[in-house]
Structure 1
Amino acid sequence: MRRLAGVALGVLFTVAGMASPVRAATYPDGAVTLRYAVYLHGFHVVDVHTGYTVNAAAYDVRTTLQTDGIWAVFLKMNITSTGTGRFAGDAVAPTLFQSDGFSRGHDRHLTIRYADGTPSVAVLDPPETDRVPVEADQRAGSIDTLSAMMLMLGTLDRTGQCDGSAKVFDGLRLITMSSHSAGKQALPPDRRLSFTGDAVRCDFVGQQVAGFVRNSRHEAQMRKPQPGSVWFQNLQGYGMVAVRIELNHPKIGKLTVLLAEPPGH
């Protein structure tokens, strides 16, 4: 169950904020909202709710992850994460990342602040002393998970492509992320998804490079590149929105993330 918890958090970081930066003037009265359903081996296990407000200079993203159905009996998880930052040319500059909620049997709280391009952990409760710390020089130039999604979507919005890379620090782990465009193609047929037609596919790879659990027998697996794909559609009034995501996790297998309903605000 802890294994699923870690994977579910990874899914949260993948889907969070995956809608293109719609200007604040379009929706002055409220955030754009998205709901995703996460499937493991065909079973609906996690719901992800995302809301965001974006203007030409800054972004504010909030995401909540909850276990669903029978999985909620065995694995209680309810985590809300928020990220704020500003756009700096073709880059993003996060200012604050926070995550609070229940996971892995405990209430957990995380706050990351940024100064001169380097994140520092202001709050980590409870502490996780079984991990090798990520040093300041390793964290330099890294961004949080929600800002990484805004970076990808900003690139897609400007260029129509999703080619790019980033270092991502989630408070415990340092991960290198890269993505590249795979062109326009038809969405894979799926009776669970109400969206059809052509979509822009982006392939991505995440690889943990620091922050490993000490003496873990899984370290070799966790060091391996983790590939995935995301399909974006241009939805009227909302811009490019991720409607389908696929991940293949080496421990538990294939995860599919689907946009559960049309966006709202």
Structure 2
Amino acid sequence: MMQRFAKIVGIASVCSFATLGAAYAQTTSNTSNPQEQSQPVKLVYDIYNKGLHVISVNANYVLTPTTYKVNAHFFSAGLGSLVFTLDSDAVVNGVFKNGQSLPGVYQSTGKDKNGNFKLVMNSNYGLKTDITTLDPARDNDRDALTADQQTNSLDMLSAMADLMHRVNTTGKCDAQFNLLDGLRSFTFRSQTAAGESDIPSNWDSPYRGKALLCQVVAQQVGGFKTHSRHRALLSQPQPGSIWFQKVGDMGYLPVRFDFKNPKMGMVTGILQKVPVSKE
């Protein structure tokens, strides 16, 4: 069960992000160095499935017009902590070039019911993605990734940074790219919905009213379990929605995401209240 939730959260973090959020560090006119990063803003997301709070995510994102850095902590929470274990940290740094995110080194470490795990991917700022550490290693019953699936792909945190950057610089979230989590490859598409949309109110959230709606689709294309009876099911397109709303002087943040998983049903992420400067 934990592994299934972890997979969902991985994809959902893009569809939010997931699970994850970000603080857009606006550069002021008196900033001498446009790449200078301000202090990160901590965002907290609660993740729900089948009516239960199962996972929480603490995320520190810092985005400038040219750089980004993300630290995120995923952990089982609520009733979910009674039935499965998840305790994972992820970090990545990168740059923005021609409107796109180009990650440097992504690292994820943690512990689940099977023990410790570690993933390190060096994307060399868009030149070539090398998986330098994958522990435990890929099982023999899982398809190996092709060179094309491993190259020119984004990790989950960089994908969200990409969407955050697009929304805050263009007012739109139209994007298409490949995702890589070390074992599996996905395609990802995001499209801006026409007009503003009301944020659904079926979960308690401090953010309501109109928001920019991004309609997204993620689809696994590589790294399947070779003999899995769920292969056809998992290869289906997985639709989702992200609502971005302007929060104080931090720009647009993903305040809610809904993500439909073919095996688990609807997964929902809700941004908890972010302290806003009163200046």
Report the TM-score range of the alignment, normalised by the length of the smaller protein: over 0.9
How big is the shift at 1:223? 0.6
Alignment of 1:79-94 (within 5 A): 79-94=88-103
Match of 1:152 in 2: 163
User: Does residue 1:258 correspond to 2:270, yes or no?
Assistant: yes
The whole-number CA distance in structure 2 between the counterparts of 1:128 and 1:103 is 16
Number of aligned residue pairs: give it: 265
RMSD between superposed Cα atoms in Å: 2.0
User: Does residue 1:134 correspond to 2:145, yes or no?
Assistant: yes
SS at the partner of 1:15? coil
Residue type of the partner of 1:178?
R
Match of 1:195 in 2: 207
Q: Is the 8 A contact 1:85 1:94 kept in 2?
A: yes
CA change 1:263–1:230 in 2 (3 A) is: farther
Q: Is the 8 A contact 1:234 1:240 kept in 2?
A: yes
SS at the partner of 2:270? strand
How big is the shift at 1:29? 5.4
The whole-number CA distance in structure 1 between the counterparts of 2:37 and 2:106 is 24
Alignment of 1:239-254 (within 5 A): 239-254=251-266
Match of 2:219 in 1: 207
Fraction of identical pairs, as percent: 31
CA change 1:47–1:190 in 2 (3 A) is: same
Match of 2:133 in 1: 123
Q: Is the 8 A contact 1:231 1:242 kept in 2?
A: yes
The whole-number CA distance in structure 1 between the counterparts of 2:83 and 2:92 is 29
Q: Is the 8 A contact 1:5 1:104 kept in 2?
A: no
Q: Is the 8 A contact 1:117 1:142 kept in 2?
A: no
User: Does residue 1:23 correspond to 2:21, yes or no?
Assistant: no
SS at the partner of 1:161? coil
Out of 204-213 and 108-117, give the one that drifted further.
Answer: 108-117
The whole-number CA distance in structure 2 between the counterparts of 1:137 and 1:192 is 42
Out of 130-139 and 218-227, give the one that drifted further.
Answer: 130-139
SS at the partner of 2:216? strand
Alignment of 1:35-114 (within 5 A): 35-114=44-123
How big is the shift at 1:52? 1.5
Query: Normalising by the residue count of structure 1, what TM-score does the alignment of the two structures yield?
Result: 0.93
How big is the shift at 1:242? 0.8
CA change 1:125–1:118 in 2 (3 A) is: same
Query: Normalising by the residue count of structure 2, what TM-score does the alignment of the two structures yield?
Result: 0.88
SS at the partner of 1:118? coil
How big is the shift at 1:28? 5.8
Alignment of 1:179-194 (within 5 A): 179-182=190-193, 183-194=195-206
The whole-number CA distance in structure 2 between the counterparts of 1:34 and 1:82 is 15
The whole-number CA distance in structure 2 between the counterparts of 1:8 and 1:138 is 21
The whole-number CA distance in structure 1 between the counterparts of 2:157 and 2:203 is 29
The whole-number CA distance in structure 2 between the counterparts of 1:10 and 1:93 is 19
User: Does residue 1:5 correspond to 2:6, yes or no?
Assistant: yes
- CA offset digits 1:105-163 (Å, max 9, x no partner): 22110000124622111001111223211122332211211111111121111211111
The whole-number CA distance in structure 2 between the counterparts of 1:48 and 1:126 is 23
Residue type of the partner of 1:23?
Q
Out of 213-222 and 54-63, give the one that drifted further.
Answer: 54-63
